[in-house]
């Protein structure tokens, strides 16, 4: 578990391992979506394909919000909360799209995590200011 605050140095040291795991999962999500027919006859470079796929991510996030708002359990995995399953769906869709676009999602995530650790607007004292990023 990464619940403890990881120093940037440790994140940098494990960065390539984390990035590779994320990219392997991205590849798997896209391969499974492709085999399931979600990309039949679809050219990722065609107009509106990427926006449509992004809207599908948004729909999963909206479903997660509804599950949380109503404190629902999931219909398909009834032992799990709906918010948890819908967030997983959103991640699967994001990874599928990143795989289709051949993006280095893992590398970008690690770089962004490192960058965010050094941002002044992400520090608790600045977030708590009257004009800070409270949410």
Residue given tokens 């280095």 in the structure block: 104
In angstroms, rounded to a whole number, what is the distance separating the alpha carbons of residues 100 and 13? 28
User: For the segment 67-98, what is each residue's pLDDT rounded down to a tens digit?
Assistant: 999 999 999 999 999 999 999 999 999 999 99
- Separation of alpha carbons 114 and 125, rounded Å: 19
pLDDT of residue 135: 67
Q: What is the pTM of this model?
A: 0.85
Place of tokens 């990464």: 2
Pairwise CA distance, residues 135 & 123, whole Å:
13
Task: Examine the pLDDT at 9 and tell me if it is beyond 90.
Answer: no
Q: CB burial class (10 A; 0-12, 13-18, 19+) of residue 46?
A: exposed
The helix/strand/coil state of 130 is coil
Half-sphere exposure of 110 (CA within 13 A, CB side): 18
Neighbours of 50 (CB within 10 A): 14
Nearest to 95 by CA among 16, 18, 17, 22: 22
- The model's pLDDT over 103-135, given as tens digits with 9 standing for 90+, comes to 999 999 999 988 888 877 777 777 778 877 766
Q: Per-residue pLDDT tens for 22-73?
A: 999 999 999 999 999 999 999 999 999 999 999 999 999 999 999 999 999 9
pLDDT of residue 2: 47
Please tell me the distance from the alpha carbon of residue 80 to that of residue 64, in angstroms, as a whole number. 12
């Amino acid at each position: 578990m990464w619940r403890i605050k990881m120093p940037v140095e440790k994140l940098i040291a494990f960065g390539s391992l984390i990035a590779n795991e994320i990219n392997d999962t991205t590849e798997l999500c896209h391969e499974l979506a492709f085999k399931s027919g979600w990309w039949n006859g679809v050219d990722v470079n065609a107009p509106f394909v990427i926006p449509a796929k992004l809207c599908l991510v948004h729909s999963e996030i909206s479903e997660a919000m509804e599950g949380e708002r109503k404190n629902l359990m999931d219909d398909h995995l009834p032992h799990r909360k709906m918010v948890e399953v819908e967030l997983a769906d959103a991640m699967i869709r994001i990874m599928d799209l990143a795989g289709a676009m051949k993006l280095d999602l893992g590398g970008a995530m690690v770089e962004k995590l490192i960058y965010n650790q050094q941002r002044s607007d992400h520090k608790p004292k600045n977030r708590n200011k009257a004009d800070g990023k409270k949410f």
